[in-house]
Amino acid sequence: MNQPLLSIVTPCLNRARFIEEAIQSVVEQDYPCVEHIVVDGGSSDGTLDILKKFPQLRVISEPDKNLYDALNKGVRASQGEIVGHLNSDDVYEKNIFAFVAEAFVKNPSAEAFYGAADIFDDGDPQRRSIMAFREERFRELTFWNLTFGAMNINARFFRKSVYDRLGLYDIRYAIAADRDFLLRVSLANIPTLSTERILYHYRQHAGSLTINKPDNPFILKKAEENLFMCEEYLQRSDVPHELRIHLKRLHSKESLKAILWHSKRHHWRDARKSTIRAIASNVAFPLELAKRAGDSLLHKMRRDSSPH
């Protein structure tokens, strides 16, 4: 079998606790034609010393603007035909690189390969899955999945030509640039393949940018970025009607997150601004807000009336 070069790009900053396990998940793969590029933002916690233990790595260490600026540097530097992303705190499933490469070789017209992913909690020594995204609705880039599903960018592999043609990540988005990129991919309607097989494991922990618990401050930041992104796409004339509907719904959902976040902290002025912004994008937002409040009240009444 022809063995195309796989380029794995890992953005990294002060990940001494996790980075070695991430690298090992590449080293222990069943495929020889791999380059692993680690783009370090100037770590000071011993991460660079760990990277020195792996002479096969290509390391770029310099300040960057954010995660996606680092990813862009890695993609530009990559020499492989196929590109994948590995977060510094996550791991690949064992022995999946040959499987991915073979899929591209057997389907030369395919420009992307989408797999499944799951999440494990860092506090569980057995690494049991707490959530999995195997279903087709989480793999395919439908308008629903792009707005309400799971991006799972790390369980997706692209030919480098996709980045050459559609562009890299928009670094205005420090957290949600993967959604913007996948929206562009979906609108380009490129030929793709997919599998139910799990290719990637996300680690849930307090400092994760990808997997957040409800009280994580990244929740508000991500909501704000999604709001801005929705507003930009809704201004475009080439956005299909179905996607436009989903973007408005996403805008309402993220607006509600922002309103609740500010309200719980008694930031009433910010909550009011978020409400006005939501109505400007979706005049039906007050009705959706009232329905949400009604559903919440009904749930509370049922809970209070249930036998203890």
pLDDT tens-place string over residues 237-266: 999 999 999 999 999 999 999 999 999 999
Token reading at 283: 């005049």
* pLDDT (tens digit per residue) in 186-197: 999 999 999 999
What does the pLDDT read at residue 275?
92
Determine, yes or no, domain membership for 209: no
Least confident of 27-41, 85-99, 119-133, 149-163: 119-133
Q: How confident is the model at residue 123 (pLDDT cuts 50, 70, 90)?
A: confident
Nearest to 36 by CA among 59, 16, 20, 18: 59
Strands 6-12, 112-121: pairing kind: unpaired
Quote the DSSP letter at residue 185.
H
Note whether 32 and 96 are same-domain residues.
Answer: yes
301 pLDDT higher than 70:
no
Note whether 45 and 185 are same-domain residues.
Answer: yes
Alpha-carbon distance 141 to 185, whole Å?
8
What does the pLDDT read at residue 290?
75
Residues 17-44 have a mean pLDDT of: 97
Which of 160, 179, 204 terminates a domain? The answer is: 204
What size, in residues, is the chain? 308
Determine, yes or no, domain membership for 196: yes
272 pLDDT higher than 80:
yes
Nearest to 7 by CA among 50, 58, 67: 58
* pLDDT (tens digit per residue) in 67-97: 999 999 999 999 999 999 999 999 999 999 9
Q: Mention every residue, 6+ apart, whose C-beta is less than 8 A from residue 6.
A: 31, 33, 34, 35, 80, 81, 82, 83, 84, 97, 100, 101, 157
Alpha-carbon distance 272 to 262, whole Å?
9
State the residue range of the domain holding 200. 6-204
Mean per-residue pLDDT over the chain, rounded: 91
211 pLDDT higher than 60:
no
Alpha-carbon distance 115 to 153, whole Å?
10
Note whether 30 and 136 are same-domain residues.
Answer: yes
Q: How confident is the model at residue 9 (pLDDT cuts 50, 70, 90)?
A: very high
CB-CB neighbours of 306 under 10 Å: 7
Note whether 174 and 39 are same-domain residues.
Answer: yes
Token reading at 117: 């992913």
* Sole residue written with tokens 């990129």: 181
* pLDDT (tens digit per residue) in 162-182: 999 999 999 999 999 999 999
* pLDDT (tens digit per residue) in 273-298: 999 999 998 888 888 777 766 666 66
Rounded to whole angstroms, the maximal C-alpha distance in the chain is 65
Note whether 170 and 77 are same-domain residues.
Answer: yes
Note whether 128 and 172 are same-domain residues.
Answer: yes
Determine, yes or no, domain membership for 84: yes
Determine, yes or no, domain membership for 210: no
- Helix and strand numbers, DSSP H then E, in the chain: 12, 9
Note whether 103 and 242 are same-domain residues.
Answer: no
What CATH number is attached to the domain comprising 165? 3.90.550.10
Note whether 276 and 251 are same-domain residues.
Answer: yes
Note whether 54 and 180 are same-domain residues.
Answer: yes
Note whether 193 and 75 are same-domain residues.
Answer: yes
Which of 181, 204, 227 terminates a domain? The answer is: 204
The model scores a pTM over 0.85: yes
Cα radius of gyration rounded to whole Å, the chain? 21
Determine, yes or no, domain membership for 250: yes
Cβ 254 vs Cβ 274: under 8 Å: no
147 pLDDT higher than 90:
yes
Note whether 72 and 141 are same-domain residues.
Answer: yes
The total number of structural domains in the chain stands at 2
Determine, yes or no, domain membership for 119: yes
Determine, yes or no, domain membership for 1: no
Determine, yes or no, domain membership for 211: no
Which of 153, 177, 204 terminates a domain? The answer is: 204
Note whether 223 and 197 are same-domain residues.
Answer: no
